[in-house]
Amino acid sequence: MMTLAKLMRRSETAVFLIVAAIMVVIGLINPAFWQADNLFNLLRANVIIGIMALSVLVVMISGGIDVSFPAFAAAAMYLTVLAMNAYGHEGVMLPFIGATLIGLICGLANAFFIHTFRMIPLIVTLGSASVVRGLLLGLVGTSIVNIDRMPPALIAFGRSSLDIGGAKLSVMVFVYLAIAGAVWLFLSRTLTGRSIFAYGDDAESAKRVGFNTRRTVYVAYGLAGALAGFAGLLHASMIWLANPRDFVGYELDVIAAVVLGGASIFGGRGSVLGTLLGVFLLVLIKNSLIIMRVDNTWQGVVVGGVIVVATALTAWRDRKTLA
């Protein structure tokens, strides 16, 4: 049983206390913050960045880094929407499977270069992001699919909500939580999931104890790509348009959220709960800056500062653990 002292030392506890403190302060400044509509909108804002953060979490636990997921999400979203319009498909199940597969293939391509040629993950994902984004814009097109041309079934799915006390809570929040639960089960209850932690902690040791490191790398990056592809199409359904230039700059926010949640930049450490809390904290910070009418440029400064501080604290914690 976890003691109070151990609980207080966990990253998740620190993030939770910070979130609670910020919410109390904002609530005191502006009591309207506690209205159900505002809280539900805050949860809705977590969905896309949260799913992407889960994809980055898996890669970061494996000891790598992935900055290609925004490009994969944009490609999966745009290609799937164009295909739905071209073939007149009226459902959403097949399109989401298709978008997920597009992301999966892109992620496996990353894994191939990283494992086969022992390349640095940051360099590979930077390159693949540039290639995918360039091919999408150069060969497929740059025009935005607006609400008038969006598939009606996709819009209807994105509009799905539950009426709770007169306020509407998007069903996408439950989709997000379901994906988070599935990722948690995979990482904590399967041998392959545990191999990702072992590989990130020490790849050579993981290989010596019998883990298939090749499969581990392919699973980590394949899953990351699949989640990015799914998130891309879900994003289109929630905002009712598909823009091939979308998700530019998402790398900063998503990586910040994962690091805030306690994941180690050196691999081998991270949790789904911490990532969810990190995402919520980041969205809360950005929402607070908007309420205070802080310019977008300065919002980037704040998020960048958060990454530096959180990374420094993570590095200090890891060194202290090894000492």
DSSP string, 221-240: HHHHHHHHHHHHHHHHHHHT
C-alpha torsion sign, points 76, 77, 83, 84: positive
The residue assigned the tokens 């892109």 is 106
Alpha-carbon distance 237 to 229, whole Å? 13
d(CA 72, CA 95): 15
Express each pLDDT in 247-257 by its tens digit.
998 998 899 89
Which residue carries 């490009």 as its tokens?
71
* 291 pLDDT above the threshold of 80: no
Helix (H, G, I), strand (E, B) or coil at 242: strand
Which band of pLDDT confidence, cut at 50, 70 and 90, is reported for residue 2? low
* Residue that is written with structure tokens 């980055």 in the block: 56
The helix (run of H) or strand (run of E) holding residue 163 is strand 161-164
Contact criterion met (CB below 8 Å) for 35 and 165: no
Which range, of 113-117, 158-162, 176-180, 314-318, averages the lowest pLDDT? 314-318
**Distance separating the N- and C-terminal Cα atoms of the chain:** 25
Predicted structure pTM score: 0.94
The residues facing 274 across adjacent strands are none
Query: Could you report the per-residue pLDDT of 53-80, keeping only the tens digit for each?
Result: 999 999 999 999 999 999 999 999 999 9
Q: What pLDDT is stored for residue 12 in this prediction?
A: 84
Rounded Cα gap, residues 274 and 281, in angstroms? 10
Helices 69-87 and 121-135 cross at an angle (nearest 10°) of 30
pLDDT of residue 294: 74
Q: What is the mean pLDDT of the chain?
A: 91
Residue 167: enclosing H or E segment and its boundaries? strand 167-170
Residue 317, pLDDT score? 65
Classify the C-alpha dihedral 225-227-233-235 as positive or negative: negative
Whether 220 and 231 have beta carbons less than 8 Å apart is answered as no
Q: Which two tokens stand for residue 26?
A: 């904002």
pLDDT value for 32:
83
